[in-house]
Amino acid sequence: MKIAVIKYNAGNVQSVLYALERLGADAVLTDDPEEIHAADKVIFPGQGEASSAMAYLKARQLDQVIKEIKQPFLGVCLGLQLLCEHSEENDTECLGIFPVKVKRFIPENSQEFKVPHVGWNELENLADNVLVKDLPDPKFLYYVHSYYAELSEATIATTHYIQDFTAILHRDNYWAIQAHPEKSSTVGEKLLSNFLTI
């Protein structure tokens, strides 16, 4: 089984490769459309800024490649946000796989709530979905983000920070996680290994 990890101008890609390596998966970092299409599964990781990431993807037609993927596809962190329709981060039109808007956290009380949302927080309201099957308890994941996806019909798990936001999305062959499963200890490992079974 071959996993393509999409290479673009976003950080934190190495950790995803190492996590896949720990699970014994055969992963390759690539921006070659053919190689991406030929893979059994595709992971779209990333940390960074939405508009520059979208510009980079478009310049290399990777936006089209992502929209055409038929295999199981997993967006992580910025990857989740880019799969949505629009991000408030520099007013960016995103890929539109999920009809969901990405907004900035606005704390009512800035002493209580820092932005970015950094640290370990819990998954809640889990749907019956293969990606979140048999996760160990308690379901803490590691988050680092200032923008969040609104709740939607595609939301299959939520997390609470300031308000409930989308922790995980699923539609057709696309899944996406806001947290960093590759940095989320045993819960994150189980999420990734669940994805590998899809």
Partner 1 sequence: MLTKRIIPCLDIKDGRTVKGVNFVQLRDAGDPVELAKIYSDEGADELVFLDITATVDKRKTLAELVTKVAKAINIPFTVGGGISTVEDVKVLLAAGADKISINSAAVNNPKIVDEMAKEFGSQCIVVAIDTRTMDGIDFVHTHGGRKPTLLKTQAWAKEVADRGAGEILLTSMDHDGTKSGFANELTAEISSALSIPVIASGGAGSMPHFKDVFTFGRADAALAASIFHFKEIGIPELKSYLIGEGISIRK
Q: Which residues bind partner 1 (CB under 8 A)?
A: 11-12, 14-15, 18-19, 21-22, 47-49, 107, 110-111, 114-122, 138, 140, 142-145, 160-161, 180, 182-186, 188-189
Q: Are 75 and 175 in contact (CB under 8 A)?
A: yes
Say if residues 11 and 78 touch (Cβ distance below 8 Å).
Answer: no
CB half-sphere exposure, 192, CA atoms < 13 A = 30
Q: Which is nearer to partner 1, 1 or 106 (CB)?
A: 106
In the complex, the smallest distance separating the C-beta of residue 160 from partner 1, rounded to whole angstroms, is: 6
CB of 169 to partner 1, least distance (A): 21
Nearer to partner 1, 16 or 154 (CB): 16
Handedness of CA 70, 76, 77, 79 (dihedral sign): negative
- Report the C-alpha gap between 95 and 84 in whole angstroms: 6
Which residue, 64 or 146, has its beta carbon nearer to partner 1? 146
Q: How far is the CB of 198 from partner 1 (least distance, A)?
A: 20
Cα(113)–Cα(105) distance, integer angstroms: 9
Q: Is 182 an annotated catalytic residue? A: yes
Cα 98 to its chain centre, rounded Å, is: 12
Instruction: Provide, rounded to whole angstroms, the least separation between the CB of residue 128 and partner 1.
Output: 24
* 34 is an active site residue: no
Selecting among 49, 84, 182, 189, the annotated active-site residue is 182
Is 77 designated active site? Answer: yes
* Smallest distance, partner 1 to C-beta of residue 196, A: 15
The rounded distance, in Å, linking the Cα atoms of 198 and 181 is: 16
Among residues 68, 84, 180, 189, the one annotated as catalytic is: 180
Closest CA to 53 of 105, 116, 95, 14: 95
Q: Are 8 and 32 in contact (CB under 8 A)?
A: no
Nearer to partner 1, 11 or 99 (CB): 11
Q: Which of 34, 77, 85, 122 is catalytic?
A: 77
Catalytic residues: 77, 180, 182
